Amino acid sequence: MWRAIQNNYELEEHETALLVEAVRTVDLLEKLDSVVRDEGAMVESPQGVKAHPAAVEARQQRIALARLLAALRLPVGDEEGAQANARPRRRVGVRGVYGIRGSVA
């Protein structure tokens, strides 16, 4: 993953930091998945049968990985007609503040 992205894209410093965390997350997911394969997806507890803690943590790590990869904003799939190293435009501007409807400011 590291080599594939580093070889194909020129990353800025903050994007490299995101990639480092994404690669670490992938490594952790591999370890967690190995534990679940070895011990099973379900475990006995005093409260009864429940999901293995490693399976629960893997789910959370997959969410984190998806967010890290989305933050990198790398192009997805075969982008014919687009520049090879082009990434989607970044959103510009600041979102306004939220208030309670009907309240006086």
pLDDT in tens, the chain (105 residues): 999 999 999 999 999 999 999 999 999 999 999 999 999 999 999 999 999 999 999 999 999 999 999 999 988 766 554 555 555 445 444 444 455 666 555
> Kind and range of the H or E element at 19?
helix 13-39
What local confidence, expressed as pLDDT, does residue 101 receive?
Answer: 65
Q: How far is residue 4 from each of residues 10, 50, 55, measured CA to CA in Å?
A: 11, 38, 28
What local confidence, expressed as pLDDT, does residue 91 receive?
Answer: 43
Closest CA to 26 of 5, 10, 51: 5
Q: Are 58 and 71 in contact (CB under 8 A)?
A: no
pTM of the model: 0.70
Per DSSP, 85 falls in state T
Q: Are 90 and 73 in contact (CB under 8 A)?
A: yes
